[in-house]
Every structure is written in C-alpha cells, then in structure tokens.
Amino acid sequence: MAQLSDDCFAFNGPLLPIGEAENLIGARIAPVEGREAVALRDALGRVLAENIVAPINVPPFDNSAVDGYAVRGEDLAFDGEKRFCIVDRVTAGRAAMRALGAGEAIRIFTGAPMPPAADTVFMQEDCRLEGDHVVVPAGLRAGANRRLAGEDMQAGAVALPAGRRLSARDVALAAALGLTTLVVHRRVRIALFSTGDEIVEPGTALPRAALYDSNRYLLAGLIARFGAAVTDLGILRDDPKELGRALAAAAADHDLVLTSGGVSAGEADHVRSAVESIGRLVFWRLAVKPGRPVAMGVISGGAANGAAFVGLPGNPVAVFVTFVRVVRPLLLRLAGASPEPLVAMPVRAAFSYKKRAGRREYVRVALRKAEDGVLEACKYEQDGAGVLTSLTETDGLAELGEEVTRIEPGATIGFLAYASLVG
C-alpha cells in the first residue's frame, strides 16, 4: 500500500521538531503505485504521473493581439502620420485572402491569423479612417501587437511536469494543447475515524456530556481538496480492542489510516497502544502548538508494506494545524506530488504574544489594512485549541518559529492564508 517499512522512521526523542517530521516524510514515504488515465474534466486536483509534452504550438499560428490594422514592418519608417490603403478584412477564425503589398493595410481583429507578409498591428484606437484608407501615427515598432506561434508553449516542450498537482490553470493549458485525457497517479485511499466516548454524529440526539463530531467533517473536507479518496469509518469508542480491530481492518485496504483524539497521555487515550499492538509508532509528540500530541507510524495490517498511520489530536484547531504540518506533506508525498513548501507571507503583528522557545506556534489571525496601508494581523481573542470559531472568524495562521519567545505589535511575522494551505 503505502510502501512503508517498519523502520521508515527512526526518531525516538521526546518532542520532534516539525522540520524533522517533514524530512522524515519526504525521505521515507514513497508514492502509491498505480496510475490511470482520466478525462480532462476529472483531472482537477489529481497528480500527473508523467510529463505532458506539448504536441502543438500554443498559439498554433501568428495572430493579432488587438483589433486594428495589420501592416508590413518595412513600411513603418516615417515621421508624423502615414496613410495605408485597406485591402482586406480578417476576423478571428478566418484567414486573409491575400498578402500585403507596400503601403497596404488589412483590417484585423484579435485572434485572427496575421496575413502573409504582415508583422505589425496598429490598435484601432490609434488610427483614423479616411474612406478606404487608414491614417496611423508614427513610432510603432515592427512586430508590435502580434502574438507569435508557440510564444506561450512550443511543440515538444514539457508543458507540465510529472508530480504536478493539477490546478484549474494547469487543466486549461492541457486543454489548449488539445489533450483529452491525462495520466495521473491513482488516488490515495484514506480511512478516516474519530475517536472518543463523548463524540456523537450530527443528526443524532446529544446526550449529556457529549459533543458533536466536527473533526471528521473538517478532515474529510481538507482531504477532498487534495484529490484523495476518503472512506468515512465513523466514530470509535475509547476501547483498546475495538480501536485495534478497526484500525487493522482499515489498514488492509487503505494507504493511510487517519484518526483524531485519543493520542495524548490520558487514561482514556488508547489509540497509541492500539497502534503499537498492530504496528509501530514512530513519533507521537511534535514540537507544535496547538497540536503537541500527534502520532505517526505504520500499521502492518494485511497489506504487503503496511499502511501509514497518523493519529491527530482531538481538539479541532489542533487537528487543523497538525493536518497542515503533518498530513498535508504526507498526502502530497503518497500522491506522487512534488513538494509544495508553504510560504508564509510577511505581515505586521497588531498584537503582543509570549511563547516558549523550542516549539512552533500557530496563532489564528484576521487581516486588516492599517491606516498606513500595510496589512496587519489581529489575533483572535480566544486561542484555545478547541475553539472552532478561531478558525471560522479569521483569515489564516500566524506562524511563530521555534526560536521566537515574544511578539510585540509592529513586528513582522509570517502569515499562512487558509486558502493557501489546502491548495
């Protein structure tokens, strides 16, 4: 399945820095095997399994970039104005009937093929009509307002590389090349569970001391954005035997088993011991806040190479943060995608904050434009790891590095927009 061997992670220390977790994932997780051809309209979010080589030039022919008048470059050496005789008219989708001679112009529209001998187009806004002549100003350089065949993409060039996770922009380029199917990696298969005696499904009665499950909905939504296939396996009780059985069964036909809750050190937290009984745990504490208890490992299951396992924390905000920092790179790697590093944008802090050195923290912030026009990050007041509104009422995460201990208003901090985190 996930091409994992039991010794694929080698870290046993107490709190694993995020960078090291990412390195482990990058170095030791192999893409799933198997590829398929998908129709262009089903290709969004899928990962290319081979390079796309352009079969044709884009654009396929020289054409006009504007509505105007096409002339020959050698007729451009003049001062003041010059009159050209209009000898033909060519619209997009048509070709000119004749080549241009000296002192002649052809009325042309955007996207129409350049007439033979013409290489320059005057914009109609710059021209004046006088009967069947057009008067144009001096100063245009030869080749202006013409789009060359292949200037966007040359036939034979690599248009999109293997490992590319296809965006709508990429699919548009494939369409421009006339392609109808693309060869992609098969979807990563993910088994998704929530855990906890207190967790119940929306739509059922809410007993005293119970909570509706939000994590599975958060995770299923995030995973869908990565083009993976989710099997929603519901909610597991805090029972070691039930957990072990369910996780082992899921590992047999999935590449990744993903849970939330039950991975900290409480007496009802049985996920780690369940995984240890059916596989191997590699780390379970990450130097991140929120989200410290996050477990990763391998479940032997029935699959030849074992399925990857990630046990996320229970608190929804911690689930989101650890998804971004652990599940996202793991998913991309399993899917055969090239690494897509997250780039934090510099913004100005409008808050003060104290933190401990040695772990990375993610503060939920809303952006606003300050009076001087600079973007400022405002911290959401309630910063508990269980406060879901801190995710719904903000624009992204401020990323405070391991070395940072204090943020004062005015400091430059890194901002990760939610939209950039899930692709």
**Residues forming the site for Mg ion (CB under 5 A):** 196, 261-262, 314
CA distance 121 to 115: 11
Please classify residue 320 by burial: count the beta carbons closer than 10 Å to its beta carbon, then call 0-12 exposed, 13-18 middle and 19+ buried.
Answer: buried
Nearer to ligand AMP, 262 or 297 (CB): 262
Site size for ligand AMP, by CB under 6 A? 18
In 238-385, beta strands by DSSP E: 256-260, 279-285, 288-289, 293-299, 307-312, 345-349, 353-354, 360-369, 375-379
Nearer to ligand AMP, 168 or 265 (CB): 265
Minimum CB separation of residue 260 from ligand AMP in Å reads 5
Minimum CB separation of residue 216 from ligand AMP in Å reads 6
Minimum CB separation of residue 277 from ligand AMP in Å reads 18
Up-side HSE of residue 60: CA atoms within 13 Å toward CB? 7
Minimum CB separation of residue 241 from ligand AMP in Å reads 17
Task: Please list, residue by residue across 360-377, b when 16 or more beta carbons sit within 10 angstroms of its beta carbon and e when fewer do.
Answer: bbbbbbebeeeeeeeebb
Q: Which stretch binds ligand AMP (CB under 6 A): 122-130, 260-268, 338-346, 348-356?
A: 260-268
Answer yes or no whether residue 314 interacts with ligand AMP by CB under 6 A: yes
Report residue 281 CA to chain centroid gap: 29
Measured at CB, which residue is nearest to Mg ion? 196
CA distance 207 to 198: 9
- Helix, strand, coil shares of the chain, percent, nearest 5, are 20, 35, 45
Return the one option of ligand AMP, Mg ion, none that residue 198 interacts with (CB less than 5 to 8 A, by type).
ligand AMP
Minimum CB separation of residue 318 from ligand AMP in Å reads 8
Answer yes or no whether residue 244 interacts with ligand AMP by CB under 6 A: no
Residue 48 falls in which region: left (phi positive, over 0), alpha (psi -120 to 50) or beta: beta
Nearer to ligand AMP, 69 or 193 (CB): 193
Q: Helix (H, G, I), strand (E, B), or coil: what is residue 253?
A: coil
Q: By CB under 6 A, what part of segment 89-148 binds ligand AMP?
A: none
- Candidate residues 68, 261, 306, 336; the one interacting with ligand AMP per rule CB under 6 A: 261
CB 256 within 8 A of CB 190: yes
- Candidate residues 120, 145, 315, 394; the one interacting with ligand AMP per rule CB under 6 A: 315
Q: Which residue has the tokens 């619209």?
A: 91
CB 68 within 8 A of CB 122: yes
Return the one option of ligand AMP, Mg ion, none that residue 20 interacts with (CB less than 5 to 8 A, by type).
none
Q: By CB under 6 A, what part of segment 192-231 binds ligand AMP?
A: 194, 196, 198-199, 211, 213-215
Residues in contact with ligand AMP by CB under 6 A are 194, 196, 198-199, 211, 213-215, 260-262, 264, 266, 313-316, 386
